[in-house]
Amino acid sequence: MLSTFSSNAILAKTRAMFGQRLKEADYRALLNCATVNDIAAYLKQHTWYAETLAPVNERDAHRGYMEMLMRQKLFRDFSSLCRYELSVGEHFADYLIARSEIEQIMHSLMLLAAGKSEAYVFSLPPYLSQHTHIDLHALSKTKDFHDFLSALGNTRYRRLLEPYAPSPGEKIPFAKIENKLYTVLYENVYRTINRYAHGKAKRELRELFDSYLDFENYARIWRMKYFYHMSSEEIRPLLLPFGSFSQRQLDGMLGASDASEVKERMSRTSRGKQAARLDYNFVDELPLRVRHLQSRHAIRFSTYPSVIMLSYIFLMEIEMENITNIIEGIRYQIPKEETLKLLIYYKTKQEA
């Protein structure tokens, strides 16, 4: 049980860090930048990323390097909070490390499937590189699935993925592998919550994940119906077996004749009513937009350190995603208005 001092310290520290986040004026300024170098300069001169991005050369800024440094800041922030909250905090640190490992694995596999494995460059910050048993350098040299498994060494990932080795001439079962990895990841998350959290804190933590995974599953069903016209039998194994949807609700969406019916059935659920209050452009945006809304609310009103810490991490990851989207918009000359639609943040009238 946390002491009152430790609990108050986490709440105060997290909210203070959250107060330094990028505001609407920052996003507007970043959208007006003409080059990645301009973005690096603005972040270094006008935002809380000044110290983090100090090593970046503003005349030759590289997105991958900037992202690595920002991820390093994120883990440094989380580590500083974990000093006050060891019971659940250290287990969520394991979750963040495992999720980053999965991201690297899937990125490597995607390039391998496309025949471009040599293009893989891992972007883990030093903190993570020191905590993973995956041979990240070996991942950049894989020529086939056997090489890929070898790069995973004696990690649990190798044991999980060996059954998915494709036969000669077959494609890598990318979707099945991704679903397996994230299923195991979230199994561990819910196990941690059930073991170390109690009462209302437990309910708030579960809701942070339940809501995200409900919308993730909805987006998957909608996408596979809309683009691939897949049947319920084909889609079901590709869903994450978590969240708050009842079996009847899931069966209804899976059995829908098309994506329009999926959306209509979703609208009858409590999650669908939640989505109706959101401003979004694409179904795939919903998981992060809901996560942003709930995490923002938790930062301001929750009294549980583990909930506050996790909400802070989620919000900062979304902030990093916003920066990445702006950089990609500049690189590919996407109109500012289109890039703006992808950003997830609160408008000025709602700012704290």
Mean pLDDT across the chain: 91
User: Are the beta carbons of 230 and 224 closer than 8 angstroms?
Assistant: yes
- Higher per-residue pLDDT: 242 or 96: 242
Closest CA relative to residue 305, chosen from 192, 204, 195: 204
For residue 184, give its domain range: 89-196
Q: What is the pTM for the complete model shown?
A: 0.92
For position 324, what pLDDT does the model report?
Answer: 95
In a domain, 166, yes or no: yes
Does 292 fall in a domain? no
Backbone torsion region of residue 335, taken as left when φ is above 0, otherwise alpha when ψ lies between -120 and 50, otherwise beta: beta
Handedness of CA 48, 315, 102, 324 (dihedral sign): negative
Q: Is residue 332 part of a domain?
A: no
Helix then strand then coil, in percent of the chain rounded to 5, is: 70, 0, 30
The helix/strand count (H/E) of the chain reads as 18, 0
| Cβ–Cβ < 8 Å for 313, 96 | yes
pLDDT per position as a tens digit, 180-199: 999 999 999 999 999 999 99
pLDDT of residue 349: 47
User: Is residue 144 assigned to a domain?
Assistant: yes
User: Which tens digits make up the pLDDT trace of 195-229?
Assistant: 999 999 999 999 999 999 999 999 999 999 999 99
pLDDT of 350 reads 45
Please give the average per-residue pLDDT across 92-108, as a whole number.
89
* Percent of the chain whose pLDDT exceeds 70: 92
Task: For 124, list phi and psi in degrees, rounded to 5.
Answer: -75, 140
Q: Is the pLDDT of residue 348 over 60?
A: no
Confirm whether 327 is domain-assigned. Answer: no
* pLDDT attached to residue 80: 81
Q: Is pLDDT at 352 greater than 80 in this prediction?
A: no
Contact 131, 187 (CB under 8 A): no
Looking at beta carbons, which pairs linking 128-134 to residues 24 or more positions away fall under 8 Å? Answer: 128/71, 128/75, 128/97, 128/100, 128/101, 131/97, 132/97, 132/100, 132/101, 134/101, 134/104, 134/105
Q: Report if residue 174 sits inside a domain.
A: yes
C-alpha 280/C-alpha 79 separation (Å) is 33
Give the separation between CA 110 and CA 11, rounded to whole angstroms: 40
Q: CATH number for the domain including 163? A: 1.20.1690
The verdict on residue 158 lying in a domain is yes
- 13 domain residue, yes or no: no
Sign of CA pseudo-dihedral 119, 96, 126, 304: positive
pLDDT of 26 higher than 90: yes
Give the pLDDT confidence of 251-281 residue by residue, as tens digits: 999 999 999 999 999 999 999 999 999 989 9
Domain count, the chain: 1
Residue carrying the six token digits 């006008």: 46
Query: pLDDT tens digits, residue range 125-142?
Result: 566 677 788 888 888 888
